[in-house]
A and B are shown apart, each in its own frame.
Chain A
Amino acid sequence: MQFIPNSPLKNNMLKELGLHDINDLFSDIPQKIRVKNLHLPQGRTQQEVEEHMRLLAQQNKSFYEMPSFLGGGMIPHYIPAVVKSVISRSEFYTAYTPYQPETSQGFLQAIFEYQSLIAELTGMDVSNASLYDGATAVGEAALMCTRITKRKTFVVPGNISWEKKSILMNYTKGSGIQIKEVAYDKKTGMIDLESFKKTIDTETAGFYLENPNFFGVFEDKVNEIHSILQKNQSMFVVGIDPISLGICKSPGEYGADIVIGEGKSLGNPLDFGGSTLGIFACKNEFLRQIPGRIIGMTKDQQGKRAFCMTLQTREQHIRREKATSNICTNEGLCMLAAATYLSWLGRKGLHELSEINFKRGQDLEKKIIAIPGFTKMFTGVHFNEFVIRCADAKKIQKYLLRQGMQGGLLLKQWYPELTNCMLFGITELHSEESIERLISLLKEVR
């Protein structure tokens, strides 16, 4: 049997235990609940499995086979070979959580580098070693705000994804937290400041602002928002796209207390939406309320620099029901990819990449709205995603698909007010040819 070296030695080992049959080892399982076999196909050779997987893979159309302009918070970016090489080191990818620091110094230092990079990007003092994804990070942030302020209301804007709202409800329901929603401005795509002012009060534990938001629009009233929150002593949570931070201020510079985000764009492939990387960073004063693992630098017995998991009394394996979160396994390897990616890009690389994404977003929008029948939905300045309205989004989507192209994301299903609206996304990865082809197909379809 594959990967089970002791199969042929079974009888000898049983004999050493004074047993005759492998089933003797399972005599403690009551007869009534024993099964003889699993009704699954017999095992196959590696070659057979690979052939089978090829047939399945052929039924998927990858980005390069079918260019896609889908937005929605997950867009493909170029991943340098260096990242693949590093995360393919089996000392990294086959390791467990670094419970034994002396033999995990490599991974621990890499996490320390990641924490440092994320703190720098977000303008926060500390970062954890990752959460599951950007969406569950909203839930964890809401819980943390209520722990810190002892208040039970958390506020979110209407211009975040339905998925985040649903996950947030699930994360907060048990703690009796009330979620309130602030409307968004149908013209700019940004949050409606009047609605915001009316909703925030001294009962508000925290407010989550996404920048850029789900529609790709930058929220420019950050200073007003911050001062209102400050007046009410409510926490300011900001969600980011890390790639945008090459041109956009770090949320720390405009008063954020907690910064979260989906970090998949940092060197991790789309993978049909997962694996993901939850970024979570905050100010130093909230350090002991952070969910998840944190790595610290310290010394060994001989005074040599060393790394270890720290502040573990926040965590489930020590504190059990009093832990700040139940998270144990996080997204270690995605975090390692992000750290490698950022160090490969460097300061200059990230600033440039951010510029390119911004510029391509503007250019594509210009090209699309130059076609009669396509209009810009929101006036707010956007990053690499934007919303376009047209006459019949579904028809266009179908036509593009027939021509081997995936257009923008149809928003109607989750935002009834955005009927015939499509959320487009573009990065450095899209070829000029595919852009030209998209434009000519959009011209044809009318």
Chain B
Amino acid sequence: MSLTGFEVEIQREVDGGLTTEDMTLSMGPQHPSTHGVLRFVVRADGEVMKEAIPDIGYLHRSIEKISEKVGWHGFMPYTDRVDYVAAMFCNQGWAMAAERLASIEVPKRAEYCRIIAAEFNRIQSHLLSVGSMAMDIGAYTPFIHTVREREYINDLIEELCGARLTFNYMRIGGVAWDIPPGWREKALSFLERFEPLIDEYNALISYNKIYTERLRNVAAISAQEAIDYNLVGPNLRGSGVRYDVRRDLPYSVYPELDFDVPVGSGELGTLGDCFDRYMVRMREMKESCKILRQCLAQLPQGPVIAKVARNFKPAAGDCYVRIESARGDMGWYVVSDGTAFPHRCKIRTGSFAAMSIIQKVSRNLMIADLIAVIASFDLVAPEIDR
């Protein structure tokens, strides 16, 4: 006597107990909140994830390889595309690497111009990050408000270098253009408007009860774990580790500037949860304003670019340059063989490091929490894949 399908089903039930099947979800690359083309293969039991495995490479454009073909000067516009949300830092990393290889002294004014541009870019990047984080949690309004301020920064930077996203502002030996007349006043005037707005953002969303409940105690990363997984930047500082390249391995004119390094304190829950990472970015914007005020006040006179040969050929050798990008410690390992083309360039980015810990922290979280985790790491897809 053979069993019908339904009877087989019942027999299985009797034998194996009531079991559920894991569901494999593919979150991304075309998903509203994976910030570009990221993909996570989510194994979920109902709403609870068993794990989320990052799948990267959807935005790989061989930028490192391109550097070997286009020459030292020619690579500068390509660096913009490494992290188009914070392109100034990539510009700066490449310029500093080339300068170190060729032992070029950058004029003081150029250094200040770089820091001003970079710190504006940091605010701009953090604004996008905190705004889109609120949007991922379901509050649409803060995003529009942060993007409005971001537009003003875009305007300022456009006046500085002619571009709003891929800046291509820096050059080996300095910057492309000096600060235009009247720009300093506009920048100060913007800071005057912007600084109180950070408190308004906190009043608008940061301490909203639903928002904090969604973020606190979610994906908490201990300081040791954060170091073990090589987290950098705000993600590392969110776990309470006070490490900032600008302060601990100072470059450019940062030693002359006075600023704090905000770290997460677990103020609403566990140390290193999503809320801590979020608040670190909020507070860093304030510090950036402080740095910008000092830079704009101390801005020295002089040239903005050193004499650099058009046919630029640094001495053979290699160097590793670290700068604090909006997404943390960004490393540029550049090898020169003494020709007009770099021999090898390797970029180490913050988002890539953060991807590795997602699989670990996402275990037993809800699917909705994964969105918060992705947003709290401030992942930018092009920076992961390059």
- A and B associate in one complex: no
Chain B residues near A (Cβ < 8 Å): none
